[in-house]
Amino acid sequence: MEFDQSTTTSHKFLSISPSYCQCRKCCSFLQLKFICGLVVLFLIMLPNTAAYDPLDPTGNITIKWDIVSWTADGYVAAVTMSNFQMYRSIMSPGWTLGWQWAKKEVIWSMVGAQTTEQGDCSKFKGNVPHCCKKNPIVVDLLPGVPYNQQFSNCCKGGVVSAWGQDPIGSVSAFQVSVGVAGTSNKTVKLPTNFSLLGPGPGYTCGPAKVVPSTVYFTPDHRRKTQALMTWNVTCTYSQFLAARNPSCCVSFSSFYNETITPCPSCACGCQNKNNCIRSNSKEAHRAGINTRRKDNTPLLQCTHHMCPIRVHWHVKLNYKDYWRVKIAITNFNYRMNYTQWTLVAQHPNLNAVTQVFSFDYKPLVPYEAINDTGMFYGMKYYNDLLMEAGPQGNVQSEVLLRKNKDTFTFKQGWAFPRKVYFNGDECLLPPPDTYPFLPNSAHVNPIAILTMAFSALLFMFNM
């Protein structure tokens, strides 16, 4: 009877009358068609779902356009890129921003940035625009450009810090003068199809939306001015879109077990297995091995996991009221160093961090009731640069944590993190059944205890 009821319910859900199901083959075909439709719908929604980061639910990059003045054939806008992500920065070679003009706009000039191509400006005589392309691609200027080409928060080579690590460095900006465009709030057409590389793929940008005009204060804070028009573009990151495989892995060890749990084999894919370099080979020491390619192709050290980054979590010591963990990050990429790197770990005892010895630390509390996530990052001018693969390609620190007697245990892998992120990308953890296990100490040898007690008594009588 249960089978008949479920079949009837299924027919009602599919809105199929029994008269249409004259044969079993017809029903199977319609059910299969319905299932395929659900799969297609799931695949369509997957990229948008993957862009949500549960450890940084409000993290995004917001690109704000403020029209500060009108010109004879367009406007001058200040474009500000703010990285509101807690632990995901934009490293060298920096961001690349693109969009599509709504009409036949051109860029007359730029301050603090430049387009990668000028395009066809042959129809202009006399004054030639900076860029005439329908789809301009903009990059930041390098440090050290002349002052007349600089704009506030510009000229960092496109490097933008994470907001949780360095709020001041999490902003990049430039000025653009747009021509052959609208000259009022009613005639301006917003650009479309925004794209952002930071520096690789992974970001998806929404449409531009008009928002209340930005308010500025004069240097003495006695007068307010405001932009003539403002619109925002919000870009979110998805690791699913950035790469097919993880970019880092995690290994475990502990003082109570000699077993070291390594990263899973081919954790980051083994597509570079044929082009890797052994650490003890002459090739690893040749001149120019650390020169970066334009396409950022990695040159990895040969390992079983083939990951550019390995994070090792070692449970080091156990005290009465505290326990101690050592964290080591190793770079296996000969062509990449990581400036302003970040490491995020999720563990229930991070709500009682007592001391971090060689890293800076900041708790991340995306949900006020739960404090189990923290961000580690390098101390400025000390270890905030993770060097290329080699003897100097690692950074490490130790963390002292206070025990919570209600929850603390070394059993069942409790001492190891639930999630680990490096530079905003989630790392692959080993399978739970391979974690270093706590030896079973429930059955204590009574003979050994009696022998120790008898020896102690003999020692006391001989004194």
> What pLDDT digit, counting tens, does each position of 166-214 carry?
999 999 999 999 999 999 999 999 999 999 999 989 999 999 999 999 9
Can you give the residue range of the structural domain that contains 95?
60-241
Could you tell me which residues are beta bridge partners of residue 145? none
205 and 250, same domain (yes or no)? no
For tokens 């794209």, name the residue: 195
Query: What does pLDDT average to over the chain?
Result: 85
Helix ranges (DSSP H) in 230-283 = 239-242
The gap between the terminal CA atoms of the chain, to the nearest Å, is 86
Evaluated on CA atoms 41, 45, 47, 50, the torsion sign reads: negative
- Mean pLDDT throughout 22-35? 49
* Tokens (6 digits) for 262: 């390594």
Which structure tokens are listed for 340? 């302003």
Same domain, 171 and 314: no
Residue with tokens 């747009």: 178
Does residue 52 lie within any of the structural domains?
no
Q: How confident is the model at residue 34 (pLDDT cuts 50, 70, 90)?
A: low
Residue 35, class by beta-carbon neighbours within 10 Å (0-12 exposed, 13-18 middle, 19+ buried)? exposed
174 and 310 part of one domain: no
- Cβ atoms of 424 and 85 closer than 8 Å: yes
Co-location of 382 and 413 in the same domain: yes
So what's the pLDDT on residue 126? 86
User: What pLDDT does residue 37 have?
Assistant: 54
Q: Is residue 410 part of a domain?
A: yes
Looking at the structure, do residues 304 and 406 belong to the same domain, yes or no? yes
310 inside domain: yes
Closest CA to 384 of 339, 424, 326: 339
Q: How far apart, in whole angstroms, are the C-alpha atoms of residue 429 and residue 427? A: 6
* 157 and 255, same domain (yes or no): no
pLDDT tier for residue 128 given thresholds of 50, 70 and 90: very high
Considering the domain architecture, whether residues 361 and 343 belong to the same structural domain is answered as yes
State yes or no: pLDDT of 49 exceeds 50: no
Please tell me the least confidently modeled range out of 53-67, 274-288, 342-356.
Answer: 274-288
Backbone angles phi, psi at 90, to 5 degrees: -110, 115
Instruction: Check residue 155 and give left, alpha or beta (phi > 0: left; psi -120 to 50: alpha).
Output: left
Question: How many structural domains does the chain have?
Answer: 2
Residue 176 lies in a domain: yes
Which candidate, 387, 424, 333, places its Cα nearest to that of 90?
A: 424
Report which secondary-structure segment, H or E, holds 10.
helix 2-14
Helix (H) or strand (E) holding 245: none
Do 203 and 249 lie in a common domain?
no
Residues 216-264: pLDDT tens digits? Answer: 998 888 999 999 999 999 999 999 898 889 999 999 999 999 999 999 9
Residues 211 and 351 in one domain: no
Lowest mean pLDDT among 241-245, 254-258, 308-312, 368-372: 368-372
Whether 39 is covered by a domain: the verdict is no
Q: Report whether pLDDT(449) > 60.
A: no
- Domain assignment present for residue 453? The answer is no
Q: Are residues 168 and 216 in the same domain?
A: yes
The CATH code of the domain that includes 404 is 2.60.40.290
Radius of gyration of the CA atoms of the chain, in A: 29
Q: Is residue 324 one of the residues assigned to a domain?
A: yes
For Cα atoms 275, 294, 192, give the angle at the middle one, nearest 5 degrees. 125
219 with 72, same domain: the answer is yes
Same domain (yes/no): 91, 125: yes
Of the ranges 106-110, 180-184, 201-205, 277-281, which one carries the lowest mean pLDDT score?
A: 277-281
Contact 379, 358 (CB under 8 A): yes
Q: Encode pLDDT of 412-447 as tens digits.
A: 899 999 999 999 999 999 999 999 988 875 444 444
Residue 181 lies in a domain: yes
**3-state DSSP call for residue 44?**
helix
Taking the C-alpha atoms of residue 229 and residue 213, their distance in angstroms, rounded to an integer, is 5
Widest CA span in the chain: 110
Task: Tell me which residue of 38, 21, 41 sits closest to 30, measured CA to CA.
Answer: 21
